[in-house]
Structures are given as C-alpha cells and as structure tokens.
Amino acid sequence: MTLLAAKGFEETTTDEIAIVAGVSRRTLFRYFPTKADIVTAWTQQMTDVLRVTVNACADGTPPQDMIRIALETVVPHIAKTQAESYAFVYLIERTPALLPVSLRKYAQWEESLASALLLRFPDMPDGRLAFRIAARSGVAAFRTAVDEWIRLKGRQPLIPIMQTVMTLQIKLFTFGTTASIQTD
C-alpha cells in the first residue's frame, strides 16, 4: 500500500510490488490475481474491525452509537500515521481504477455493520431493514467525512471531521422535531 500510494496505482508495476513484498511475481499473482486485489485485501481488515467493534460494545449502547464507535475504530487501522492514512485513502478514493474496490468496500462495511447489529438486537421489529438503513447512513457519513478530509488535504485528523459530519447528520434527521441545525 505504501508503494502504491507513493508511486500511484497505475504507475506501480506488479514486479515492484513483488520486490517490496519479498516474493516472486508468480507468488504475488497466486495470492492477488490483480493489483486491485491487493487493495481489496487491505480493506478487508477494516471490515473485520467493524464487526468486532460492534460485538465488543457494552450492553445498552444504542445502535447508532455502535456504528459511530465502529467507524471511529477503523481509522487507526488504516495506517500507522495520519500522513500515511491520508495517502492510502486518497489513493483508493481518487484512483478511477479503484472505484469498484472502494464501492465494494463500503458495501461490505454496510453489510458487516447491519449483520453485527442484527445479532446484537435480534428482537428489534424490522431490525434487518432498520439496521441496513442505519449502517448505510453511517457509512454515508463516513464517506462524506473522507471527502471533506481529502478536500482539506489531510491537514486535520479524520475522526473529528467524522464526528462533525455525524452530528450534522443527526441534526438534519431530527430537524423540525427536537433539534435545530446550528454549527458548533
């Protein structure tokens, strides 16, 4: 991922990746038939983090908070440093050839979150549909925060941006009921 982020997805050859990984080109292709599969494998670890985090939330935690906590927990798993995280996210979100990988990743995140919530709250009426809505809304907020982070060129940490976006999302969903739209 570091090599892909530094050189660019299209500019990096599979031979270069194999050298950095310390394997032969043939071995690399045995595990990853395409360069995009390398990125897909990297994103899978974050899908697992979402599920594990929801499962670890304390009893009594509301589903929306579980989603927020899970998405915040993913951020440190992107990379070791904020600069490296930004480079990886930028690579995936702004490389046209990786758009299918990005969309697939977010769909997997939605499914992982919804399934984990359904296991936590099996008796909720319309739970399957409700948790799909909640997961998709949470991932949409995450994607919006990522877009804002990229717009800001990674100069601010992602988690506070996510928190702002999620707060605005809640205010918008409750506008006209008990909350009003005001930025803090």
Six-digit token pair at 34?
């395409």
C-alpha to C-alpha distance for 49 and 23, rounded to whole angstroms: 27
pTM of this prediction? 0.86
CA distance 52 to 151: 30
| Per-position DSSP letters for 90-139, written without gaps between them | HHHHH-GGGHHHHHHHHHHHHHHHHHHHHHHSTTSTTHHHHHHHHHHHHH
**How confident is the model at residue 173, as a pLDDT?**
84
Domain architecture of the chain: domains with CATH? 36-174 (1.10.357.10)
pLDDT digit string (tens) for 24-43?
999 998 998 888 888 888 78
pLDDT of residue 34: 87
pLDDT at 174: 84
pLDDT of residue 182: 53
- What pLDDT is attached to residue 69? 97
pLDDT in tens, 57-86: 999 999 999 999 999 999 998 888 899 999
Low-confidence residues of the chain, pLDDT below 70? 176-184
